[in-house]
Amino acid sequence: MLAGVLIMVVGIIISIALHEVGHLLPAKLFKVRVTQYMVGFGPTLWSKTKGETEYGVKAVPLGGYVAMIGMYPPPEQKSDDAAATDAAEDSGPADPYLQQVGAQYVAPPIERSSAAERVPDEQKTVMSHSTGIFQQMSQEAREVASEELRPGDENRMFFRLATWKKVIIMLGGPAMNGLLALLLTAGTVSLHGMNTATTEVADVFECITTVEAEDAAEVVAERECTESDPAGPAFEAGLEPGDEILAFGGTEIDEWDDLTPLIRDAAGTPNQVVYLRDGEEHTTEVTPILTERPVEGRMGAPERDADGSLVTEPVGFIGVVSLTEVQRQAPWEAGPIVYEQTRAVGQVVLTLPQRMYDVGVSTFTEVERDPDGPMSVVGVGRVAGEISAQDQIPWESRFATLMSLVAGVNIALMVFNLIPLLPLDGGHVAGALYEALRRRWAKLRGKPDPGPFDISKLLPLTYAVAVLLIGMGLMLILADIINPIRLFD
């Protein structure tokens, strides 16, 4: 169990580190000065300055950041009289941007890097003329961030980049997580394989029970037939476990997914079934019955409503289960898998308020927790421990499952960081796009260039979002301790 938790912890830390590399590389490519590359938050455990960047690891490995200069544009210009008064009272760099512009990646106040210690005191003075708590908050943020500035930074500040360069830098992190998820998934499905339904019959139902009875039974053998349950069509037709389905209703069957829609659409209609048993072909006739069956979600799991009950639909059914085998797939099959997982995570994010409410209800009541709902790193670690503790599962299958879990974490990091709210990457992308649209609109109207968009004015919203994220994280951790999601009973 400990091995699984350790693998997951290392996987998450590497995922975070590579996310930040996704920001670091394009930033350096576009000549933005990066002062810090940090994995984790809190006290610094280790750091080393190489060139102009301090690289380090912090105590709490629940995130990371890349600090770049010039994230904030210059403040509004003061009147000539005010500027003259301040010039007489205050001295600083000759370049006005270096006097007024700060830079940081995470919400201020930021920790000063070792590079900042070498900046002369006279270059750390920033004029303050804000009035009001929000304006003062914005100005103070720029003052703190300006401590990282030094001569020669005039053309290396983030806010001076073209919009497309800003977007590339900010999308670099999520893109790295998406690439990592794709590579892990491709490696898993091609080297180990994935569970695939074959055309061989694994079990035949003597009767067709209700979906509620099937859902309550942990294994097929526990399904008990009653007098009101109709006989299983496949059982009556003489099909047995081990038979390989070759054709249904005149249509050749190459894989189980070919058979399922044919049966569902043939309720009440007799169909010939050709099957292989002990090397010999046989033919029988089966008539699917119309019954309520669970609706499959995008990832193959049955859908459930808000009460946790199975969502059903009336379709044809003959009462057979396919044999599932681990089969290797082509690496490019990872694309559709990651796409479907991304869509599933996106649906969770879009309904996050409702999902969090459901988590709270299940935590403090007897309501069953949604296994497809959000979980914290504690829950992910717990699931990893459960997987590694299943001695009856071959070690290579357990390792492959853990790699798939790490891939899922990367998909979650990618989607979550694309939410267009600061301090998330999507919020910075939204700010850059808004700035480009504002400038374009002004140009079309023949108005003066409004200049860069000052994201420091959104600091109150940034802090509010940060508080909500922290609260959500704490709620999920509590839920994963009190009422965790379990894969195995």
User: Distance (Å, rounded) from C-alpha 193 to C-alpha 335?
Assistant: 15
Kindly report which listed range (149-153, 266-270, 316-320) carries the lowest average pLDDT score: 149-153
- Determine the Cα angle at 229 with ends 228 and 233, to 5°: 140
Six token digits for residue 351: 């309904």
The per-residue pLDDT for 130 is: 41
User: Distance (Å, rounded) from C-alpha 186 to C-alpha 479?
Assistant: 32
Six token digits for residue 395: 């070690």
Per-residue pLDDT tens over the stretch 330-389: 999 999 999 999 998 998 899 889 889 989 988 888 888 887 788 888 888 888 888 888
Six token digits for residue 160: 């001076």
Q: What is the mean pLDDT of residues 23-37?
A: 94
What pairing do the DSSP bridges indicate for beta strands 312-317 and 289-294? antiparallel
Residue 109: pLDDT above 50? no
DSSP 302: B
Residue 436: pLDDT above 60? yes
Which residue of the set 20, 111, 140, 148 is catalytic?
20
Kindly report which listed range (207-211, 276-280, 477-481) carries the lowest average pLDDT score: 207-211
pLDDT band for position 207 (cuts 50, 70, 90): confident
pTM score: 0.77
**Which carries the bigger pLDDT value, residue 108 or residue 290?**
290
User: Distance (Å, rounded) from C-alpha 27 to C-alpha 16?
Assistant: 17
Q: What is the mean pLDDT of residues 226-255?
A: 90
User: Distance (Å, rounded) from C-alpha 387 to C-alpha 361?
Assistant: 27
pLDDT band for position 419 (cuts 50, 70, 90): very high
pLDDT band for position 420 (cuts 50, 70, 90): very high
Six token digits for residue 79: 């009147």
Six token digits for residue 266: 């043939």
Q: What is the mean pLDDT of residues 442-447?
A: 92
The per-residue pLDDT for 486 is: 81
Per-residue pLDDT tens over the stretch 128-185: 344 455 566 566 666 666 667 778 777 888 988 999 999 999 999 999 999 999 999 9
Task: Say if residues 245 and 259 touch (Cβ distance below 8 Å).
Answer: yes
Residue 189: pLDDT above 80? yes
Six token digits for residue 489: 């009973």
Which residues pair with residue 201 across a beta bridge? 322
Six token digits for residue 406: 């790490």
Distance of CA 404 to the CA centre of its chain: 13
Q: Which residue has the tokens 């899922």?
A: 408
Q: What percent of the chain has pLDDT over 70?
A: 79
CB neighbourhood size of 231 (10 A):
14
Task: Say if residues 145 and 103 touch (Cβ distance below 8 Å).
Answer: yes
The per-residue pLDDT for 94 is: 44
User: Distance (Å, rounded) from C-alpha 355 to C-alpha 370?
Assistant: 9
User: Distance (Å, rounded) from C-alpha 15 to C-alpha 180?
Assistant: 8
Helix residue ranges per DSSP H, 60-210? 80-89, 96-100, 133-145, 163-187
Rounded to whole angstroms, what are the CA distances from 319 to 264, 295, 334? 11, 16, 31
Task: Say if residues 103 and 149 touch (Cβ distance below 8 Å).
Answer: yes
Helix residue ranges per DSSP H, 237-300? 256-264
Which residues pair with residue 317 across a beta bridge? 289
Annotated catalytic residue 303 = no
Residue 246: pLDDT above 50? yes
pLDDT band for position 414 (cuts 50, 70, 90): very high
Return the exposure string of 416-425: e unless at least 16 CB atoms fall within 10 Å of the residue's CB, then b: bbbbebbbbb
Half-sphere exposure of 405 (CA within 13 A, CB side): 27
Residue 215: pLDDT above 80? no
The per-residue pLDDT for 404 is: 93
Q: Counting every residue, how long is the chain?
A: 489
Residue 299: pLDDT above 60? no
**DSSP secondary structure string for all residues of 337-387:** HHHHHHHHHHHHHHTHHHHHHHHHHHHHSSPPPPTTS---HHHHHHHHHHH
Highest mean pLDDT of the ranges 353-367, 416-430, 453-467: 416-430
